[in-house]
């Protein structure tokens, strides 16, 4: 009987992971398409060293969140729903109102739906920085502007 030599899968160490900063302009971009690209960057799926159980992703800064687009009649028909915990405590807000009052929440909610819903997903979501206007306080990190 011949012994078969197995190859080992390389697992990146946390010290070897290089984190980059990316700047994304959401002006005129469709919400779902933007959220999928952001989720891929946060997870690190575009890297060769991607490992599903490790945080190998990069930071993402989103500017102009208030100018993101929703197609069709989603602005009026799609609702952001949450439950307060009290009887009859289901609250609803149409995306048109949410986009006017808190545009960061719209993008964060869309990206969260595309990340794992566990400790790793919560850690990844902390690397997402969203701002409604053009300015952001992350100039020192020198984010690389990417077109999505």
pLDDT tens for residues 46-93?
999 899 999 999 999 999 999 999 999 999 999 999 999 999 999 999
* Buried b or exposed e, range 109-128, using 16+ CB within 10 angstroms: ebbbebbeeeebbeebeebb
- How far is Cα 77 from Cα 93, in angstroms, rounded to an integer? 10
Q: Is the pLDDT of residue 11 over 90?
A: no
**pLDDT confidence of residue 106:** 97
Helices first, then strands: H and E counts in the chain: 5, 6
**pLDDT confidence of residue 1:** 72
Which CATH fold would you assign to the domain 21-70+104-145?
Answer: Ribosomal Protein L13p; Chain: A; (3.90.1180)
Q: What's the pLDDT band for 5 if we cut at 50, 70, 90?
A: confident
- How far is Cα 23 from Cα 3, in angstroms, rounded to an integer? 51
pTM more than 0.85: yes
Q: Which two tokens stand for residue 95?
A: 């995306």
Indicate the average pLDDT of the chain.
95
Domain layout of the chain by residue ranges:
21-70+104-145
């Amino acid at each position: 009987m011949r012994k078969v030599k197995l190859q080992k899968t390389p697992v990146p160490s946390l010290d070897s992971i290089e984190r980059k900063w990316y700047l994304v302009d959401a002006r005129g971009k469709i919400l779902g398409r933007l959220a999928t690209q952001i989720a891929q960057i946060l997870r690190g799926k575009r890297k060769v060293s991607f490992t599903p159980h490790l945080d190998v992703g990069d930071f993402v800064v989103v500017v102009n969140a208030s100018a993101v687009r929703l197609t069709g009649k989603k602005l009026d028909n799609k609702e952001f729903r949450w439950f307060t915990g009290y009887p009859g405590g289901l609250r609803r807000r149409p995306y048109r109102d949410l986009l006017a009052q808190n545009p960061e929440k719209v993008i964060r909610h869309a990206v969260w739906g595309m990340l794992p819903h566990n400790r790793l997903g919560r850690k990844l979501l902390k690397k997402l920085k969203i701002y409604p206007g053009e300015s952001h306080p992350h100039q020192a990190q020198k984010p690389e502007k990417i077109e999505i």
